[in-house]
Structure 1
Amino acid sequence: MSTADILERNYPGRRAQLKRDILLGALACFNQHGLELTTIEIIKLHCDTSVGNIYHHFGSKEGLAAALFFSALDDQARLLGEYLQKADTAQEGVAAIVGSYVDWVTEQPELARFQYQARAAIAKGPQADELVAKNRSRNKNIFSWWSAPERHAHIKHIPADLLPSLLIGQAENYCRAWLSGRIPTSPKKYRAYLTQAAWLSLAITPDVK
């Protein structure tokens, strides 16, 4: 699925074509110049549109960045949901969580690259509450899947705020390095390693005094 397809799912129809075009152009500008250095004027020139159109549809550069960020976040959640629906055991659930993350990043590198650089700005910006709500909804769905007794037994000893880092932390670290060009090998090649590492991390039982 292309970035255009993802945006069309969130902004469907012919009347939203200009909005999708602006989002695609803004994505290219953000990834080329960085979020802070990209201006509305740069986006306007890249998209061959007017400043008025950009402000009409998104209100501000921050609103434009948030629209892109949430489109990416929603598509990640969609793919995770599809993978979890096919998982029955706890180990299959770990594979679904890690696998959906790795697959999404490798299939949507431009959106993923933008998402990494924009996360802190969105968390501190006017859309911070919306981000919190979306993250809470996603985490609720994940914990709901884990609530079955035979699955929950594998994670009940792990603090809830630590669990996402154990499951995704290693995959996220590798994906960031790959997207930055620091390492050449696609995360998909190491998906089995990253999945196994996440599974083994659930067996951690620290001696807490």
Structure 2
Amino acid sequence: MDTADLLERSYPGRRAELKRDIFHKALSLFNEQGIEATTIEMIRAECDTSVGAIYHHFGNKEGLVAALFFTALEDQARLRDAYLDAADTTQKGVQALVFSYVDWVEQQPQWARFQYHARFAVTKGPFKDELAERNKTRNLRLRQWLTQSGRAAELQDLPAELLPSLIIGQADSYCRAWLAGRVKGSPSAYREVLAQAAWRSIRAEGLAEN
């Protein structure tokens, strides 16, 4: 799936055409050259626009990196919520979380690769507070789903902050290895195995798998 598909979803219409072009070219440069080595001038040259236009939209390079990172997170969350809405049991909900994560990475490898590389910079940079707020809002849907009536009895008594790592951690590790070329099998080939492992890690003792 082309990176343009994600940008069209996130920033539709003719008025956002320049913004989409800047995003598209910046994403390629950040992945090819590295975030530190890529300059605004390099992005400007690729987009055939002015430095002022880039600063107008994003403020500076840190703002552009953060905007790309937030765009990826929001698109990932859209797919997650669509999968979660179709889940009618707790186990299927855990499966939906793993499936949506794996499928998004495989559909959007360039965005996923950037997301992994940019996470530290955004977490430690000037947009860390905005990231924390966005994560809080993004995860509200997940917390609401997990705390619905009857679901707590199906899960181990674990800290809420630990659940995302237990559910997504193994899928995240495999996806990183796949993006880095360390493994050959596509993430989707192992989505069932990864989902089963996630469910076993959080289900209450004595609760059978469906």
TM-score by length of 1: 0.93
How far is the alpha carbon of 1:204 from its aligned partner?
Answer: 7.0
How far is the alpha carbon of 1:12 from its aligned partner?
Answer: 2.4
- Aligned twin of 2:208: none
Secondary structure of the corresponding residue to residue 137 of structure 2: helix
Higher deviation after alignment, 144-153 or 28-37 = 144-153
How far is the alpha carbon of 1:156 from its aligned partner?
Answer: 5.1
Alignment of 1:121-140 (within 5 A): 121-140=121-140
Secondary structure of the corresponding residue to residue 150 of structure 1: coil
Q: 1:172 to 1:191 in 2, by over 3 A?
A: same
CA distance in 2, matches of 1:108, 1:193: 21
- Aligned twin of 1:46: 46
- Aligned twin of 2:74: 74
Structure 1 letter corresponding to 2:50: S
Structure 2 letter corresponding to 1:112: A
Structure 1 letter corresponding to 2:177: A
How far is the alpha carbon of 1:151 from its aligned partner?
Answer: 1.5
Higher deviation after alignment, 5-14 or 58-67 = 5-14
Secondary structure of the corresponding residue to residue 21 of structure 1: helix
- Aligned twin of 1:65: 65
1:40-67 CA-to-partner distances (Å, cap 9, x unmatched) read 1111222222212211211101111111
Structure 2 letter corresponding to 1:170: Q
Confirm or deny: 8 A CA contact 2:10 2:75 kept in the other structure.
no
- Aligned twin of 1:90: 90
- Aligned twin of 1:177: 177
RMSD of aligned residue pairs (Cα, Å): 1.4
Alignment of 1:116-195 (within 5 A): 116-155=116-155, 157-195=157-195
CA distance in 2, matches of 1:10, 1:127: 20
CA distance in 1, matches of 2:12, 2:108: 19
- Aligned twin of 2:33: 33
CA distance in 2, matches of 1:22, 1:100: 27
Structure 1 letter corresponding to 2:54: I
Q: Does 1:22 align with 2:25?
A: no
CA distance in 2, matches of 1:188, 1:53: 39
1:113-136 CA-to-partner distances (Å, cap 9, x unmatched) read 000000111111222122111111
- How many pairs are equivalent? 205
1:151-195 CA-to-partner distances (Å, cap 9, x unmatched) read 222235011121111000000000000001111111000000100
Secondary structure of the corresponding residue to residue 87 of structure 2: coil
Q: Does 1:201 align with 2:205?
A: no
- Aligned twin of 1:56: 56
Structure 1 letter corresponding to 2:57: H
CA distance in 2, matches of 1:113, 1:164: 20
TM-score by length of 2: 0.93
Structure 2 letter corresponding to 1:34: G
Q: Structure 1 regions of 5+ residues with no counterpart?
A: none
Confirm or deny: 8 A CA contact 2:178 2:185 kept in the other structure.
yes
Structure 2 letter corresponding to 1:57: H
CA distance in 2, matches of 1:15, 1:140: 31
Structure 2 letter corresponding to 1:140: L
Q: 1:107 to 1:157 in 2, by over 3 A?
A: same
